[in-house]
Structure 1
Amino acid sequence: MYKKKLAFVLFVFFTIIKLQAQTAFKPGLRAGLSLSTISEMHADYRPDFYVGGFGEINLTKRYALQPEINYIRQGSNNVARNFTDPDTQTERVIYQDLQMSYLSISMINKFTFGQGFQVQFGPALDVLLSDNLAFRKTYNDLSFVTGLAYRMPSGLGFEFRFKKGLFDVLDSDYYYNNSNNDYFFGDYNTNVNFQIGITYTFDVK
């Protein structure tokens, strides 16, 4: 199943690149720190990484459309969950680190101001590759991405992004904790992700 999802995402990505081949095009790479959590769980942020590639399609001097493919590791650490021990029939609380890996295809709009400062935003489709959730509500996610970046004339850039999922990704009834009000779970648990990293854009003539 995951191989079929990967093949489909790659097909869409390279089809977009081919359709826009007549415009100014610059490929690039991006990587960095991924800080993520799951909303309404009062858990800790999970530090991990992201890595990906993109194609910058320059439509005007100030505006570019940038399709991307990224591998992103997300999740949430120190998630409290209470359950009844089947052996002792007593209430117990355990803490778990939840991990999800996504192949994300994004369509980012980039506006450049001044000497390399950029405003970025756009949608993303996240295809789940792996996870350690006991129960989930959806395998894939739709997200909205926004951020700021600065690119130097050499092609090296620095970026900060915020990525917010739209789908409820796990079954909060399973992870619900009713023994401590500080860990009250809501019913709408979505991915929240911050990305801090570097980019490199190749100057293709």
Structure 2
Amino acid sequence: MNRRVLLFIAVFFTVLNLKAQMSVKPGLRAGLNFSTISEMHADYKTDFYAGGFAEIKITKLYALQPEINYSRQGSNNVARNYFDENTQTNRTEHLDLEINYLSISIMNKFTLPQGIQFQAGPTLDVLLNDNLAVRKAQNDLGFVLGVAYALPSGLTFEARFKKGLLDVLSSDYYQNDSNNYYLFGDYNTNMNFQLGVSYSFGK
């Protein structure tokens, strides 16, 4: 028999087998963000995220999960030294930076028989609003790594780390040259730890 025919038959039955195992379950997720911006002396900002997803289960161990989430991020208590032209003195102000995104992610989920999951995937963060005085990147690209514990009921407890790749603000404005204690670099990226839950509908 022709090798191409054999290959076609093998691919055909592989696709049929995958289709028989595949299932799609919608779901919701929400939790807490603990975010900051790298290379700045600042505190973590505590806020929330919420969204929805579709879990496309391809095999017993692997699922592809597109997500759309609303994510409130930023950094608190950012110290900025500057020269006040009005008073002709050096002054310090402390700012709470807010950056809110619509996050679109494609997560790869690997689930062990015990319910332990390992998650990883890319994310595109579309800027909704912020209070940055000087912004660099309008949107952000990043990656997400996580672990989770899934219950048979569809409830899952998740812990994730999301790291942005683009420089999101201008360090020329937020830098602090007059105090070497503060670390201000030229590459300021989003860093976000997430703790939350998700729930998928259907069996």
TM-score (norm 2): 0.88
What residue in structure 1 maps to residue 153 of structure 2?
154
1:108 matched to which residue of 2? 107
RMSD: 1.3
- CA shift digits 1:104-129 (9 cap, x unpaired): 00000000012211000000000000
Tell me whether 1:199 sits opposite 2:198 in the alignment: yes
1:95 is matched with which residue?
94
- Name the aligned partner's letter for residue 78 of structure 2: V
Q: CA deviation at 1:95?
A: 0.4
Distance 2:190 2:41 in 1: 13
Shift of 1:23: 3.7
| 1:24 shift after superposition | 0.7
Q: CA deviation at 1:154?
A: 0.9
1:87 is displaced (CA, Å) by 1.0
Superimposed CA distance per residue, residues 103-158 of structure 1 (whole angstroms, 9 cap, x where no aligned partner): 00000000001221100000000000000000011110001000000111111110
Match of 1:16 in 2: none
The aligned length equals 184
DSSP 3-state at the match of 2:104: strand
Greater C-alpha radius of gyration? 2
| 8 Å CA contact 1:178, 1:184 repeated in 2 | no
Q: Give the drift of 1:38.
A: 0.1
Any gaps of 5 or more consecutive residues in structure 2? Answer: 1-18
Q: Deviations over 1:20-71 (max 9, x none)?
A: 9x94100111000000000000210000000010000011110000000000
Offset of 1:176 from its aligned partner? 0.6
Secondary structure of the structure 2 residue equivalent to 1:97: strand
Identity, % of aligned positions:
68
Find the residue that maps to 1:177 and give its secondary structure: coil
2:124 corresponds to which residue? 125
* C-alpha distance in 1 between matches for 2:87 and 2:98: 29
Distance 1:136 1:86 in 2: 23
Amino acid at match of 1:123: P
Give distance in 1, aligned partners of 2:95 and 2:41. 13
**Residues 177-186 or 26-35, more deviating:** 177-186
* Aligned residues of 1:39 and 1:189 also touching (Cα < 8 A): yes
CA distance in structure 1 between the partners assigned to 2:129 and 2:104 by the alignment: 16
1:78 corresponds to which residue?
Answer: 77
Give the match's secondary structure for 1:88.
coil
For residues 155 and 103 of structure 1, what CA distance do their matches in structure 2 show?
25
Q: Show the counterpart of 2:62.
A: 63
What residue in structure 2 maps to residue 185 of structure 1? 184
Matched with 1:170 is 169
Amino acid paired to 2:47: D
Tell me which residue corresponds to 2:7: none
Dislocated runs of 4+, deviation >4 Å: none
8 A contact 1:172–1:186 mirrored in 2: yes
Return the letter of the residue paired with 2:114.
Q
**Which residue does the alignment assign to 2:10?**
none
State the distance in 2 between where 1:150 and 1:116 align. 5
The letter for the 2-side match of 1:196 is L
Q: Secondary structure at the match of 2:184?
A: coil
Corresponding position of 1:32: 31
Paired residue type of 2:137: T
> Distance in 2 between the 1:135 and 1:168 partners?
12
2:178 counterpart letter in structure 1 = S
